Amino acid sequence: MQALVLEEKGVLALRDIDLPQTVGPDDVKIAIHTVGVCGSDVHYYTHGAIGPYVLRAPMVLGHEAAGTIVEVGENVRSLAVGDRVCMEPGIPDLSSRASKLGLYNVDPAVRFWATPPVHGILAPYAVHPAAFTYRLPDSVSFAEGAMVEPFAIGMQAATRARIVPGDVAAVIGAGPIGIMVALAALAGGCSRVLISDFSAEKLAIAAAYPGIEAVNLKETTFAAAVDTATRGWGADVVFEASGSAKAFEGLFNLVRPGGAAVLVGLPVDAVRFDVAGAISREVRIETVFRYANVFDRALELIASGKVDLKPLITGTYAFKDSIAAFDRAVEARPTDVKLQILVAEEG
């Protein structure tokens, strides 16, 4: 089966590779329709590793996917052939202690698509547990279905934040994940979301959504902007979505007394952490690793129209042009939010 294979750091090939096609009793087989290009896919392409995950053998990329079910295992009752679906890319051990606690995203045994040594799904077909495959409502397109995975990170962050109606949120970083976090925070009940970045182009895309206010760090500090917006009180929730070590300087000064700081971005190096600043305000610190139990709610928000992810899809490539899509993603143009690859040709 043809797939987009990362042979080694910097070397992609669209070539035949053997992928498991056996449909177990609890699995479904999916004809892949649309796949989003994720920052992590691009990072494996350019660096060959993310933290402890190192590419040691050729690996198929891609983990943000939607498609159509073509085969179901004998135990599967919730899904049928012909269903349009999206997939949650992590497969935990469902009998693990973490899974039994509902924290399957932090199950040490989780196998996650396109994280070495696990193959991703930039290929015509994939086999996946039905338990982690979600039917798309009729009003949700394949393109939107492939956006559920990145939006799920925003959903996890907003859930961890425990937003109360009317909260004011501040999001550091207007990259794809920062925007997803801002949209989930708004959907979760925030009255306003301030978002900061150094890129006017990224901020313009974020602030096109009503309720999201751009703060350009070339013109002011986030602290000053949050101060003005909250009359010195601070944001109820601050989301760190940049992964930049510098963002942690003064991070807790943005949070109101008793508010929350939610850490989403993954810094490459160790960062300095102002423990005294956090303690003096009794800041509640939450961390986000991928997501658990949010796909159904994400799909409800998209289907209801409360969250519109379509403006964030800024480029679509044919499967045969997958490598061009990745080379474009490497350029990291500020106006490119999400590039997608059409694996299936038909509508």
CA distance 281 to 302: 36
For Zn ion, the closer of residues 170 and 177 by Cβ is 177
Shortest Cβ distance from residue 177 to Zn ion (Å)? 9
For Zn ion, the closer of residues 152 and 186 by Cβ is 152
Region 184-223 residues binding Zn ion, contact defined as CB under 5 A: none
- For residue 10, what is the DSSP state? T
Sole window of 32-40, 54-62, 188-196, 274-282 interacting with Zn ion (rule: CB under 5 A): 32-40
For Zn ion, the closer of residues 159 and 230 by Cβ is 159
For Zn ion, the closer of residues 38 and 143 by Cβ is 38
Tell me, letter by letter, the H, E, C secondary structure of 241-298: CCCCHHHHCCHHHHEEEEEEEEECCCCCCCCCCCHHHHHHCCCEEEECCCCCCCHHHH
Shortest Cβ distance from residue 344 to Zn ion (Å)? 20
Calculate the alpha carbon distances from 87 to 35, 91, 269, 305 in Å.
Answer: 11, 10, 31, 20
Shortest Cβ distance from residue 41 to Zn ion (Å)? 7
CA distance 81 to 225: 52
Calculate the alpha carbon distances from 302 to 144, 196, 295, 320 in Å.
Answer: 8, 25, 11, 29
Q: Which of 4, 30, 35, 38 binds Zn ion (CB under 5 A)?
A: 38
Plot region of 189 (φ>0 → left; ψ -120 to 50 → alpha; else → beta): left
Shortest Cβ distance from residue 32 to Zn ion (Å)? 15
Shortest Cβ distance from residue 314 to Zn ion (Å)? 15
For Zn ion, the closer of residues 149 and 236 by Cβ is 149
Region 63-82 residues binding Zn ion, contact defined as CB under 5 A: 64
Residues contributing to the site for Zn ion (CB under 5 A): 38, 64
